[in-house]
Amino acid sequence: MTDTARDSSTTRSRTELTERIKELEATVRRLRARVSELESDREHLLEENQALRKKVTHAHLADTLLATLDEEDGDAAPAPEPPSATTGLHRALPSSFTFRTFFRVAEREGLDTADARRCLRHLLDRGRLARDGSRLTKQEATSDAQ
């Protein structure tokens, strides 16, 4: 092989290697961008998972609370009429709220837990409150509601 042929071969090899290096660098950049996207997606999914777990926990607590109310209704003699504070409690509630908020408002209205539960059951049974998972929503008053 002559010196010219060897130089030409070396130049071609260097050019091919340089092109291959550029291709590999571009691939590395694409992979790093994809890793960044996947990490962002992972963070979003983790946050969504936590929010959903919180909602499920609240819904489970609400179901447990309502089951407890139903058991109390079934075990006891006919429940006395709910306290007269039911109407005031209903007025004091925001338009949409959680069970926790309901009991906090009831406490501020001076009701103990047992009376607050009776009011809750009364308001749900009369359609004054509607339940959607772990949230409650005030409904328009009906003519037979207290």
pLDDT tens, position by position, 6-47? 667 777 788 999 999 999 999 999 999 999 999 999 999 999
Domains along the chain with CATH numbers:
75-138 (1.10.10)
Report the greatest alpha carbon distance in the chain. 111
Tell me the pLDDT tens digit for each residue of 57-116.
777 777 777 777 766 655 554 445 555 778 888 889 999 998 889 999 999 988 888 888
Residue spans of beta strands (DSSP E) within 10-146? 96-98, 129-132, 135-138
Q: CA torsion 51→52→58→62, rounded to 10°? A: 150
Query: For residue 145, what pLDDT is reported?
Result: 41
